């Protein structure tokens, strides 16, 4: 494998290796730890409902198929991967998000046995019409469960009223109607496109030996011809669908999700923009901001309040979410604060304090192998250097952050509210 070593000023280092198949591998050794965490992932998520392979015709597949494929991949003719992991004492799981699917395990013993299981089942698809039909019922129940989940619905209601055509507005699991259209042949078509090693990555952190891991991966990867994937475009307008949506569910206090839709068809996904947007959110409504103090003092938010810069292929949204007795007032005050910062600029003292806090958080993440593995996934997805964030937090300026404020248009927002059911 072709290898490259990255080192940081804080004494950490990791290896990036590229397998002949195109698979990228990221490994950070933490010999002082007793555990290890490994992820085998693909750049394939719920928004990939239109695509072409190697310049061929564009294929449209049912919504929810990436999540469906994640479920089915654990099964084989000989049983399921969870049973195999249970015998080694490892914790195993998987997740599908908007732009990726990841299979993972963590363990404190038998790491190489567990890695062998991971390499095997992710590369051994087994689908039949009978097993697909059975899974449709299982996932159908999961979809219905999420339909009644306030935390799930408050976000997807916002996305539905924010995006006209982009599949980011569709539940990651799809709908009961869409998954009914999935069959074994479609699953194999998606697998053969997106589960090609050239579109995949392995991220490992913990008490492992890099050379031993690379040797095991080199012998365990099935080499196929690399593929070229062209992801679909969805003709998404810049404007939102409508600014307000409300639903009643079983909650004790109203929940809200307030978002700004970014008016850019191809959002900048650079790490610098991500860091600047995180800084900006802290300045607007982070723990140390004047607005946060006011919202808490007035009893308008509680410890559930969070902010996020949420972006991917063809979408970008700034989100404020939490619980409030008056979500409309919270949204109004956030808008006022955005306009105030646009007019008055950034408080230099607050900016310095927020930067220092984020720098400390970035350093502390290297004390947790799961956190490291999750960061390595971001490196694989966006071709980041794991230590670039630390460097940026030293050099980014208030003007860099202020320029990103133009992404926040108070006329292009959506407020989603989940209110308590009467009685």
Whether 336 is catalytic: no
C-alpha to C-alpha distance for 323 and 314, rounded to whole angstroms = 29
C-alpha to C-alpha distance for 66 and 59, rounded to whole angstroms = 14
C-alpha to C-alpha distance for 323 and 376, rounded to whole angstroms = 32
C-alpha to C-alpha distance for 122 and 73, rounded to whole angstroms = 6
Phi, psi of 277, deg, nearest 5? -70, -35
Classify residue 6 by its DSSP letter: E
Q: Are strands 244-249 and 413-420 parallel, antiparallel or unpaired?
A: parallel
Sign, Cα dihedral of 347, 410, 421, 175:
negative
- Of 70, 75, 135, 337, the active-site residue reads 70
Q: How crowded is the C-beta side of 306, counted as CA atoms within 13 Å?
A: 8
Q: Where are the beta strands (DSSP E) in 8-144?
A: 13-18, 24-29, 36-42, 50-53, 59-60, 75-76, 79-80, 91-96, 101-107
Q: In what order do the strands lie in the sheet with 91-96?
A: 2-7, 13-18, 24-29, 200-206, 36-42, 101-107, 91-96
Q: Where are the beta strands (DSSP E) in 324-363?
A: none
C-alpha to C-alpha distance for 392 and 362, rounded to whole angstroms = 11
Q: How crowded is the C-beta side of 202, counted as CA atoms within 13 Å?
A: 28
Are 100 and 194 contacting, i.e. CB atoms less than 8 angstroms apart?
no
* 420: its two tokens: 């308590």
* 119: its two tokens: 């390499």
Q: List the catalytic residues.
A: 70
């Amino acid at each position: 494998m072709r290898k490259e070593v990255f080192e940081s000023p804080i004494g950490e280092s990791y290896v990036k290796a590229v397998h002949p198949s195109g698979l990228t591998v990221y490994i950070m050794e933490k010999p002082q730890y007793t555990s290890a965490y490994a992820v085998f992932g693909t750049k394939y998520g719920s928004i990939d409902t239109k695509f072409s392979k190697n310049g061929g015709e564009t294929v449209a597949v049912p919504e929810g198929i990436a999540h469906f494929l994640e479920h089915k991949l654990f099964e084989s003719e000989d049983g399921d991967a969870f049973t195999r992991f249970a015998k080694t004492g490892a914790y195993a799981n998987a997740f599908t998000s908007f732009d990726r699917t990841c299979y993972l395990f963590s363990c404190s013993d038998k790491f190489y046995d567990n890695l062998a299981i991971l390499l095997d089942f992710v590369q051994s698809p087994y689908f039949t019409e009978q097993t697909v039909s059975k899974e449709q019922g299982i996932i159908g129940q999961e979809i219905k469960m999420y339909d009644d989940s306030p935390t799930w619905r408050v976000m997807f209601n916002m996305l539905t009223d924010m995006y006209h055509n982009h599949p980011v507005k569709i539940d990651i699991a799809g709908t009961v109607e869409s998954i009914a259209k999935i069959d074994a042949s479609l699953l194999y078509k998606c697998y053969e496109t997106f589960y090609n090693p050239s579109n995949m990555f392995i991220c490992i952190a913990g008490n492992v030996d890099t050379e031993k891991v690379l040797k095991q991966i080199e012998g365990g990867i099935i080499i196929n011809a690399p593929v070229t994937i062209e992801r679909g475009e969805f003709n998404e307008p810049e404007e939102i669908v409508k600014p307000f949506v409300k639903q009643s569910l079983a909650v004790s206090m109203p929940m809200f999700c307030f978002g700004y839709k970014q008016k850019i068809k191809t959002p900048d996904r650079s790490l610098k923009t991500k860091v600047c947007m995180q800084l900006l959110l802290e300045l607007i409504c982070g723990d140390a901001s004047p607005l946060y103090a006011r919202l808490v003092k007035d009893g308008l938010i509680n410890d559930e309040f969070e902010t996020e810069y949420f972006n991917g292929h063809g979408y970008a949204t700034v989100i404020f979410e939490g619980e409030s007795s008056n979500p409309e007032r919270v949204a109004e005050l956030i808008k006022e604060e955005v306009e105030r910062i646009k007019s008055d600029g950034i408080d230099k003292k607050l900016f310095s304090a927020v930067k220092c806090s984020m720098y400390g958080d970035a350093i502390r993440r290297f004390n947790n192998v799961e956190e490291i593995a999750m960061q390595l996934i971001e490196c694989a997805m966006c071709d980041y250097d794991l230590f670039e964030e630390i460097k940026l937090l030293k050099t980014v300026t208030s003007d860099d952050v202020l320029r990103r404020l133009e992404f926040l248009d108070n006329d292009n927002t959506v407020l989603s509210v989940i209110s308590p059911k009467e009685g």
